[in-house]
Amino acid sequence: MRASTHNRTKDWQALDAAHHIHPFTDTAALNKKGARVITRAKGVHLWDSEGHRLIDGMAGLWCVNVGYGREELADAAYSAMRELPYYNAFFQTTHPYAVELAAKLAQLLPAGMTRVLFANSGSEANDSALKLIRYYWNLQGRPEKKIHISREYAYHGVTMAAASLSGLTPMHPQWDLPLPGFAKIPTVYPYAWGGDQDPEDYGLAMARKLEERILELGADRVASFSVEPIHGAGGLMMPPRSYFPEIQRICRKYDVLLHLDEVITGFGRTGEWFGAQTYGVEPDLMSMAKGLSSGYQPISALGLGPRVGDAISSANEEMVHGFTWSGHPVACAVSLKNLEIIERENLVDRIRTDIGPYFAGRVKELARHPMVGEVRTQGLLAAIELMDDKTTRKFFDPKRDVGTHCRNHCFSNGLVMRATRDTMMLSPPFVISHAEVDELVGLAWKAIDLTARDLGRETMVGP
């Protein structure tokens, strides 16, 4: 399908409206205006069917870490598809692609996390995590330990269990979720809720909400705590340094498995290979997806530390779980090549020492804008708070949908930036150049300033 012909936009939009139900979308509203059709991509840029170029400040959905248009990844897929387009690991078989990827992950993962199980999406990895946690406690002869705690504002995916684990409340009513056995604690959001408290004290206090909840529910009933190192879709809230060591202490004290959801933070995004390293935490289970293949293939993995890994490996019975596509050869081949690229091009070091600090410095300039409050960053993640009154830290009335308005200005002006509430979020590809960061920041400023103009607020030329 040639995608560059302008006159096909309307046809695609009509077919899309007639036949395609989009994820997380008001179908009627979208169909009235027609979807934007993205037809090709290269490096950090996308092109739509009208020929407009956009800089992709979100790396797709937080995933295209090595950038678009990598021939090597296409070649890896092609050659695996020719050699072994499909085989599985169900009936006492395996294949080199899954074996080599599992071994590679064992080498990259935090010490002790030597085993992985494959799936095809972040949701499936999390669903698998919850099943393995339940199985683990059953194997231990403690079947009463079944409650999964997670945080408000968490995004862990959309399967029945992953959505139940998620703490974004709009994800629940349409499906009568959460399922029984899921409990929440408040999250850590220093800028919005930390007030004037020292952020480290606030971080400790919020970690102790986990302890309070465990004691309330009874430690003998709590199976696990699931947590993103940094909230992604929930609004890129970043924990103070004090938070995770305290979470770790509490999980150990009450014998609660710690499950880290690294679907966004994995594979370098935070400036270390994993958020676990950035925040100094040792999880029992770790979910990975997105950056594992840089989005070139659907694949996810669940890393198992010694507790769960040893228990399953020595259970002496069949573990009744797995997907047709678990460890798909093409997805594994692409992931292996993707990890090779990240290592060969030193992309994780680049984020820690070069482009990450440059990005942070430039993006933080946006805080000079009269409508921008806090700008926080970690590695190649940034959150920009649009404020009704930055001096008193007053947020806009959510009904005004200021973030969506700003996001629309971004799109119209050639930048993909995502909004959660009025928090604008960036997660660009790791290969973004200094000049492209400059371009991105210029466009972000412009979109914010246009939003301020529309609201009748003070505007400012910049950055």
Based on CB atoms, which residue is closest to ligand PXG, 9 or 187? 187
What part of residues 339-378 is at the interface with ligand PXG (CB under 6 A)? none
Of 225-233, 338-346, 396-404, 451-459: span binding ligand PXG (CB under 6 A) = 225-233
Task: Sort 394 into a burial class: Cβ within 10 Å, 0-12 / 13-18 / 19+.
Answer: exposed
Of 141-149, 226-234, 380-388, 444-452: span binding ligand PXG (CB under 6 A) = 226-234
Please state, as a whole number, how many other Cβ atoms lie within 10 Å of the Cβ of residue 415.
Answer: 23
Based on CB atoms, which residue is closest to ligand PXG, 381 or 452? 381
Tokens of 259: 């499950």
| Closest approach of ligand PXG to the CB of residue 73, in Å | 18
Residue nearest to ligand PXG (CB): 122
Residue 72 host element (H or E) = helix 71-83
DSSP helix, strand, coil percent of the chain (3-state; round to 5): 45, 15, 40
Based on CB atoms, which residue is closest to ligand PXG, 63 or 257? 63
Q: Where are the alpha helices (DSSP H) in 84-186?
A: 96-108, 122-139, 160-165
What part of residues 418-437 is at the interface with ligand PXG (CB under 6 A)? 418
| Closest approach of ligand PXG to the CB of residue 270, in Å | 13
| Contact call for residue 239 and ligand PXG (CB under 6 A) | no
| Contact call for residue 233 and ligand PXG (CB under 6 A) | yes
| Closest approach of ligand PXG to the CB of residue 156, in Å | 5
Tokens of 416: 């993909």
CB proximity list for 7: less than 8 A, separation 6 or greater: none
Q: What is the CA 55 to chain-centroid distance, rounded? A: 19
Q: Out of 30, 38, 41, 61, which residue is the one contacting ligand PXG (CB under 6 A)?
A: 61
Backbone angles phi, psi at 30, to 5 degrees: -65, -45
| Closest approach of ligand PXG to the CB of residue 354, in Å | 26
- Mark residues 106-145: x for contact with ligand PXG by CB under 6 A, - for none: ---------------xxx--x-------------------
- State how far the Cα of 202 lies from the Cα of 239, in Å rounded to an integer: 10
- Residue 68 DSSP symbol: B
- With beta carbons less than 8 A apart as the criterion, state whether 436 and 444 touch: no
Of 154-162, 241-249, 334-342, 395-403: span binding ligand PXG (CB under 6 A) = 154-162
Q: Which own/partner pairs from 374-377 qualify as long-range (CB within 8 Å, at least 24 positions apart)?
A: 374/191, 376/191, 376/236, 376/238
| Closest approach of ligand PXG to the CB of residue 308, in Å | 19
- With beta carbons less than 8 A apart as the criterion, state whether 252 and 210 touch: no
The reply to whether omega before 298 is within 30° of 0 (cis) is no
Based on CB atoms, which residue is closest to ligand PXG, 236 or 452? 236
Amino acid at 280: G
Q: Out of 127, 211, 246, 261, which residue is the one contacting ligand PXG (CB under 6 A)?
A: 261
Based on CB atoms, which residue is closest to ligand PXG, 228 or 422? 228
- With beta carbons less than 8 A apart as the criterion, state whether 426 and 381 touch: yes
Q: Out of 190, 232, 271, 329, which residue is the one contacting ligand PXG (CB under 6 A)?
A: 232
Backbone angles phi, psi at 65, to 5 degrees: -70, -35
| Closest approach of ligand PXG to the CB of residue 68, in Å | 18
Based on CB atoms, which residue is closest to ligand PXG, 9 or 420? 420
Of 86-94, 258-266, 275-283, 333-341: span binding ligand PXG (CB under 6 A) = 258-266
Based on CB atoms, which residue is closest to ligand PXG, 233 or 238? 233
Q: Out of 227, 264, 402, 431, which residue is the one contacting ligand PXG (CB under 6 A)?
A: 264
- State how far the Cα of 219 lies from the Cα of 256, in Å rounded to an integer: 8
Residue 383 host element (H or E) = strand 381-389
| Closest approach of ligand PXG to the CB of residue 413, in Å | 20
Transcribe 13-63 into DSSP letters. Answer: HHHHHHH-PPTT--HHHHHHH----EEEEEBTEEEETT--EEEETTHHHHT
| Contact call for residue 177 and ligand PXG (CB under 6 A) | no
- State how far the Cα of 331 lies from the Cα of 299, in Å rounded to an integer: 6
Q: How many residues bind ligand PXG (CB under 6 A)?
A: 16
- Mark residues 277-306: x for contact with ligand PXG by CB under 6 A, - for none: ------------x-----------------
Name the residues that contact ligand PXG, by CB under 6 A. 61, 121-123, 126, 155-157, 228, 232-233, 261, 263-264, 289, 418
